[in-house]
Amino acid sequence: MNIGIDKIGFYTPPFALSMEDLAVERGVEPAKYTVGIGQSTMAVAPVTQDIVTMGANAAIEILDEADKEAIDMILVGTETGIDQSKSAAVYIQKLLGLSNRVRSVELKHACYGATAALQLAKGHITLNPESKVLVIASDIAKYGLKSGGEPTQGAGAVAMIVSAEPRLLRLEDEASLFTDDVMDFWRPNYEAYPMVDGKFSNEQYMRFFAEVWTDYATQTGATFADLEAICFHLPYTKMGLKAFKPFLEELPEEEQERLTTRYQESTAYNRHVGNIYTGSLFLSFISLIETSSVLVAGDRIGFFSYGSGAVGEFFVGELVEGFEKQLRVEVHQQLLENRKQVTVAEYETLFSQMVDESGEQTFQVEDKSLFILSGVHQHQRQYQKQ
């Protein structure tokens, strides 16, 4: 049975900050952010957007009535949980008007959560071929104002419908996995922002890519010539290339050029959004299929998933016949273009507005997204469809 991604949608909040403006304000050479790190704009989440609203905003654009009837599982990968107990998937089930006869769960392992969700969805469809699974990756990456990680922040969600006989991408069965207990990035329950050893995290990312790619190639006999492109988890757009480079340099020039061009296409959207943790890999996939003009059905695409802490996985998907009908190029490009460009001062204000411990709050933000968090009443988040 063919199982994979039938549809894919994306949402990012309606505010964005120029990395050049941030660099000037922080007294940093702008090229460090735009070239060294490879980010042009950073998505900024207002207090009216959290993982629930972003996930629902990403999913609503791809759901039709047939999907709503067939979905019997909602999996939300995130590391920006809003509750220690209740899962974001339950709120999303209600906001989207999905059936009550669904299994709803939130999954966590840093940026790897949504890949785990995708593989679990595949297993579920294998047992229940008529089912569809809604997989959502939703996160807000915040490291703190003036922190080392500040230029690698971002916010957004990707929603995927996983089904049998998918119309976009068939997932192959082979995958290479690697888990090792490393302290490169973590967030204790009492901390608002992660603790991160930036340089060490880069090294671990590169080590994990080498581990899973080498193992995948040994297991399957695959070479880079078998893949039209590789999508990477992108904490910032330079990162994937840093890990890929030692392998790229060993390839014939023509192959290097092809894979480097595909890499640029797969990072185009991420360059304007920043890190969205669990969703970054899948945003890279959307960027690739919506900005490349050379992809054809049958092309095989590699995926490198990395979640600090750390778990890595390499797997492959094949574009299916008619995949281009599933693209939402205009919707996604408008989403990026129509964002309000904020000043650094406005970004700092938006950054600092949060749900607090009072249990009673009302939020006033110019946010026209379909789903918003309008406030908190008796410690319960108040979601609204506008």
Q: CA distances (Å), 343 to each of 17, 298, 330, in order?
A: 7, 44, 26
Does residue 198 belong to the site contacting ligand HMG (CB under 6 A)?
yes
Find the binder of ligand HMG among 22, 62, 110, 342 (CB under 6 A).
110
Does residue 245 belong to the site contacting ligand HMG (CB under 6 A)?
no
Nearest residue to 217 (alpha-carbon basis) of 181, 257, 242, 251: 251
> Which residue of the set 106, 111, 124, 231 is catalytic?
111
Smallest distance, ligand HMG to C-beta of residue 370, A = 27
Q: CA distances (Å), 87 to each of 54, 83, 240, 379, in order?
A: 14, 7, 31, 16
Nearest residue to 118 (alpha-carbon basis) of 75, 61, 55: 75
Smallest distance, ligand HMG to C-beta of residue 241, A = 9
Does residue 275 belong to the site contacting ligand HMG (CB under 6 A)?
yes
Peptide bond preceding 310 in cis form (omega within 30 of 0): yes
> Which residue of the set 79, 228, 290, 313 is catalytic?
79
Find the binder of ligand HMG among 137, 157, 196, 276 (CB under 6 A).
196
User: DSSP secondary-structure letter at 343?
Assistant: P
Find the binder of ligand HMG among 307, 312, 317, 375 (CB under 6 A).
307
The whole-angstrom separation of Cα 37 and Cα 75 is: 31
The whole-angstrom separation of Cα 142 and Cα 161 is: 28
Find the binder of ligand HMG among 32, 86, 94, 385 (CB under 6 A).
32
Smallest distance, ligand HMG to C-beta of residue 283, A = 12
Smallest distance, ligand HMG to C-beta of residue 298, A = 30
Asked if residue 335 lies in contact with residue 317, where contact means CB atoms within 8 angstroms, the answer is no
The whole-angstrom separation of Cα 287 and Cα 215 is: 27
Residue closer to ligand HMG, measured from CB, 167 or 207: 207
Which residue is listed with tokens 């919707």? 331
Known catalytic membership, residue 272? no
Which residue is listed with tokens 């061009």? 261
- Contact stretch for ligand HMG (CB under 6 A) within 15-23, 32-40, 46-54, 249-257: 32-40
Known catalytic membership, residue 124? no
Smallest distance, ligand HMG to C-beta of residue 310, A = 7
Find the binder of ligand HMG among 75, 111, 276, 288 (CB under 6 A).
111
Q: Which residue is nearest to ligand HMG (CB)?
A: 36
Does residue 246 belong to the site contacting ligand HMG (CB under 6 A)?
no
Residue closer to ligand HMG, measured from CB, 21 or 67: 21
Does residue 185 belong to the site contacting ligand HMG (CB under 6 A)?
yes
Q: Which of residues 122-151 bind ligand HMG (CB under 6 A)?
A: 148-149, 151
Q: Judging by beta carbons within 10 Å of its beta carbon (0-12, 13-18, 19+), is residue 75 exposed, middle or buried?
A: buried
> Which residue of the set 109, 228, 231, 233 is catalytic?
233
Q: CA distances (Å), 209 to each of 100, 132, 172, 299, 311, in order?
A: 40, 30, 19, 21, 10
Paired sense of beta strands 3-11 and 15-18, if any: unpaired
Q: Which residues are catalytic?
A: 79, 111, 233
Residues that bind ligand HMG (CB under 6 A): 29, 31-32, 35-37, 79, 110-111, 148-149, 151-152, 184-185, 196, 198-199, 201-202, 205, 233, 235-236, 239, 275, 277, 306-308
